[in-house]
């Protein structure tokens, strides 16, 4: 591929400065804004119809066709097929969730869950990591780094452990974790996969500032979602949603918002699909914040901040961030993956909200998140707390009649339940349960709480716990114990 077919471009339409695709600065050299990966589409071989991708379904021996990201390589053509680094990410499926519709108030058959917990590292982050690692290896980098609330570091560490550099050694990963919450499932992955793990005395936002400061001077490739290649890979989540719906466009996409990379990627996916004439309509976007980390909600919904074709009110953003500083605000939510108050992709998220039919932003409380997580899990889709913000947000939007029961809705379940088993056990037992013993009975408030029962080591007691009259069973004659 000749390099000028793909390049990086400033997202501000009033600037539009471009740099080569391989640039590692990730901010605009002219205005300091965010960059997109951009393409000279007319000179690229783009399929005429999304159905053309179906031809790849039969090619199971080609890893690029198995990957749910690279199956769509024509829609992210920044690397040649031979340069792609894939471990089979994105083999996730859109699932019709009829058992959940009753709880939220949609009509039967209208709700779908895009279950991204099925990725190799257990979260949607792998969709973007495969793309960014493809670039890192192309650039010959030997070290990669990110700041993370957990899942980015798990994904980064996994890909690094499986990436062989030119000198035959594995790529080294460095992760910066803060003093905020990190779920043990995620931390255990980073440690297992061999990441150099630095715990910084500060929150996620502080970690991100540091990793951005030190990476380039030390020739470390920065893997946070300010790296636009992450977002290129994450566009594929939308392609798979369309694939799962027989290439029909749903009415709504509902996604949790943390650093806002994912919703930004969705917006870019649809902007491009529309530009390429591959879709005739675009779904409406709903981004759901946790109430304890609600910067986008405050700015977009409360203060009315809009992308406004790139002329968004920068003073309004600056004033809000300054207010966070002045009040020493620290985000706080049980949904640790979205416990972020200075979302890096904020401008791209504003663009996505505009592109996707004047989208909406809502906030949900920790209690709503935990109840919806438990409800979704009870119907078979185990996800971590942050993921359930999408379903809780949908419930709220139905109550507000912003979403109507007859519309088709896709909620993104961003990460797997086993990422954060502590949150689950605490919900069901009311206690932090790190020890293997079951805590004594205690009132638990969760609507779907399923408390384990302590039973003496005794057949009679076990029968009683099972609700069985032992004297009516063959066990009746047995001696006790
Ligand atoms: C990263 C993450 C999010 C937030 O995604 P952003 O792109 O940062 O908005 C939500 N849920 C889970 C499970 C995540 O890992
Ligand atoms: Zn610029």
Ligand 1 centroid distance, CA of 263 (Å): 9
Please state, in angstroms and rounded to a whole number, the distance separating the CA atoms of residues 396 and 262: 21
Please tell me whether residues 459 and 351 are part of one structural domain.
no
User: pLDDT tens-digit profile of 99-121?
Assistant: 999 999 999 999 999 999 999 99
**Tokens standing for 369?**
């998140």
- Whether 185 maps to a domain, the answer reads no
What is the chain's mean pLDDT, rounded?
Answer: 94
- Look at strands 409-413 and 252-256 and give their pairing: parallel
**Tokens standing for 135?**
């670039």
pLDDT the model gives residue 439: 57
pLDDT the model gives residue 312: 97
Ligand 1 centroid distance, CA of 187 (Å): 15
Please tell me whether residues 473 and 334 are part of one structural domain.
no
With the most atoms of ligand 1 within 8 angstroms of its CB, the residue from 190, 253, 267, 386 to mutate is 386
| β-sheet bridge partners, residue 175 | 146, 197
Pair 372, 111: CB distance under 8 Å: no
Please tell me whether residues 6 and 116 are part of one structural domain.
no
> Sign (positive/negative) of CA torsion 45, 50, 55, 57?
positive
Q: Which ligand has its closest atom nearest to the C-alpha of 338?
A: 1
User: Tokens 């965010």 sit at which residue?
Assistant: 34
This prediction's pTM: 0.95
- Whether 383 maps to a domain, the answer reads yes
DSSP structure string for 276-299: TT--S--PEEEEEEETTB-HHIII
Nearest CA to ligand 1 atom 2: 337
Task: Give, to the nearest 10 degrees, the angle between helix 346-355 and helix 261-275.
Answer: 40
Please tell me whether residues 374 and 477 are part of one structural domain.
no
**Tokens standing for 480?**
């006790």
Pair 375, 417: CB distance under 8 Å: no
Please tell me whether residues 302 and 383 are part of one structural domain.
yes
- Whether 111 maps to a domain, the answer reads yes
Question: Which protein residues have their CB within 5 A of the ion that is ligand 2?
Answer: 10, 12, 15, 17, 28, 30-31, 33
Ligand 1 centroid distance, CA of 339 (Å): 9
- Whether 63 maps to a domain, the answer reads no
- Whether 309 maps to a domain, the answer reads yes
Determine the average pLDDT of the residues in 443-467.
89
The domain in which residue 262 lies consists of 94-121+231-422
Please tell me whether residues 464 and 415 are part of one structural domain.
no
Ligand 1 centroid distance, CA of 262 (Å): 7
Q: What is the dihedral of CA 198, 200, 205, 206, to 10 degrees?
A: -120
Please tell me whether residues 287 and 400 are part of one structural domain.
yes
Confidence bin at 215 (pLDDT 50/70/90): very high
pLDDT the model gives residue 66: 95
Confidence bin at 166 (pLDDT 50/70/90): confident
pLDDT the model gives residue 94: 95
Task: Give, to the nearest 10 degrees, the angle between helix 151-161 and helix 125-138.
Answer: 40
Q: In 3-state terms, what secondary structure has residue 309?
A: helix
Please tell me whether residues 329 and 390 are part of one structural domain.
yes
Any residues with Cβ below 6 Å from ligand 1, and which?
Answer: 123, 125, 151, 225, 256-262, 337-338, 384, 386-387, 414-415
Please state, in angstroms and rounded to a whole number, the distance separating the CA atoms of residues 124 and 127: 6
pLDDT the model gives residue 1: 46
- Whether 181 maps to a domain, the answer reads no
Domain boundary among 375, 406, 422: 422
Please tell me whether residues 347 and 295 are part of one structural domain.
yes
Q: 453's torsion region: left (phi>0), alpha (psi -120 to 50) or beta?
A: beta
Given a cut of 70, whether residue 315 has pLDDT beyond it is: yes
Q: Tell me which long-range contacts 192-195 makes (C-beta under 8 A, separation of at least 24).
A: 192/157, 193/154, 193/157, 193/158, 193/160, 193/161, 194/157, 194/160, 194/161, 194/170, 195/153, 195/156, 195/157, 195/160
Confidence bin at 149 (pLDDT 50/70/90): confident
Q: In 3-state terms, what secondary structure has residue 20?
A: strand
Q: Phi/psi at 232 (nearest 5 deg)?
A: -60, -45
| β-sheet bridge partners, residue 412 | 114
- Whether 188 maps to a domain, the answer reads no
pLDDT the model gives residue 451: 87
What total number of domains does the chain contain? 3
β strands within 21-148, DSSP E: 35-39, 94-96, 111-115, 143-148
Please state, in angstroms and rounded to a whole number, the distance separating the CA atoms of residues 204 and 225: 13
Please tell me whether residues 325 and 462 are part of one structural domain.
no
Confidence bin at 437 (pLDDT 50/70/90): low
Ligand 1 atom at minimum distance from 335 CA: 11
Please tell me whether residues 335 and 273 are part of one structural domain.
yes
Determine the average pLDDT of the residues in 30-54.
97
- Whether 427 maps to a domain, the answer reads no
Please tell me whether residues 265 and 339 are part of one structural domain.
yes
Given a cut of 90, whether residue 261 has pLDDT beyond it is: yes
Given a cut of 60, whether residue 435 has pLDDT beyond it is: no
Please state, in angstroms and rounded to a whole number, the distance separating the CA atoms of residues 171 and 135: 13
Domain boundary among 422, 442, 472: 422
């Amino acid at each position: 591929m000749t390099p000028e077919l793909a390049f990086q471009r400033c997202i501000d339409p009033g600037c539009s400065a471009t740099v080569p695709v391989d640039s590692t600065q990730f901010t605009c050299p002219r205005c300091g804004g965010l960059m997109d990966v951009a393409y000279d589409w007319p000179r690229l071989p783009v399929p005429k119809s999304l159905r053309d991708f179906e031809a790849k379904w039969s090619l199971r021996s080609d890893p690029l066709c198995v990957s749910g990201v690279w199956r769509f390589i024509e829609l992210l053509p920044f690397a040649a097929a031979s340069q792609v680094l894939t471990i089979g990410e994105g083999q996730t499926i859109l699932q019709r969730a009829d058992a959940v519709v009753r709880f939220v108030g949609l009509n039967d058959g209208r709700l779908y869950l895009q279950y991204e917990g099925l990725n190799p590292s257990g979260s949607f982050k792998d969709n973007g990591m495969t793309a960014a690692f493809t670039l890192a290896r192309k650039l010959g980098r030997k070290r990669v780094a990110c700041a993370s609330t957990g899942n980015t570091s798990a994904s980064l560490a996994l890909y690094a452990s499986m990436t062989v550099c030119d000198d035959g050694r594995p790529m080294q990963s460095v992760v910066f974790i803060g003093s905020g919450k990190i779920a043990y499932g995620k931390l255990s992955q980073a440690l297992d996969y061999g990441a150099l793990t630095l715990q910084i005395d500060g929150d996620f936002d502080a970690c991100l500032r540091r990793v951005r400061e030190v990476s380039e001077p030390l020739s470390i490739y920065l893997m946070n979602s300010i790296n636009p290649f992450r977002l290129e890979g994450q566009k594929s989540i939308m392609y798979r949603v369309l694939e799962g719906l027989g290439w029909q466009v749903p009415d709504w996409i509902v996604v949790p918002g943390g650093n806002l990379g994912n919703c930004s990627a969705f917006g870019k996916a649809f902007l491009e699909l529309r530009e390429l004439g591959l879709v005739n309509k675009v779904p409406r976007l709903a981004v759901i914040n946790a109430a304890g980390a609600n910067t986008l909600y405050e700015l977009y919904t409360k203060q009315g901040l809009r992308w406004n074709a790139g002329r968004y009110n920068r003073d309004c953003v600056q004033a809000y961030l300054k207010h966070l500083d002045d009040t020493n605000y620290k985000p706080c939510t049980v949904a640790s993956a979205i416990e972020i108050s200075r979302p890096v992709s904020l401008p791209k998220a504003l663009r996505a909200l505009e592109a996707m039919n004047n989208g909406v932003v809502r906030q949900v409380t920790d209690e709503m998140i935990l109840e919806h997580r438990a409800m979704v899990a009870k119907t078979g889709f185990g996800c971590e707390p942050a993921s359930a913000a999408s379903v809780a947000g949908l419930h709220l939007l139905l109550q507000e009649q912003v979403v109507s029961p007859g519309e088709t809705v896709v909620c993104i379940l961003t990460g797997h339940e086993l990422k954060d088993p502590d949150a689950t056990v605490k919900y069901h037992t009311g206690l932090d349960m790190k020890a293997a013993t079951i805590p004594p009975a205690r009132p638990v408030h969760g609507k779907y709480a399923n408390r384990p029962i302590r039973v003496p080591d005794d057949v009679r007691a076990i029968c009683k716990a099972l609700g069985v009259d032992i004297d009516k069973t063959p066990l009746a004659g047995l001696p006790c114990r």
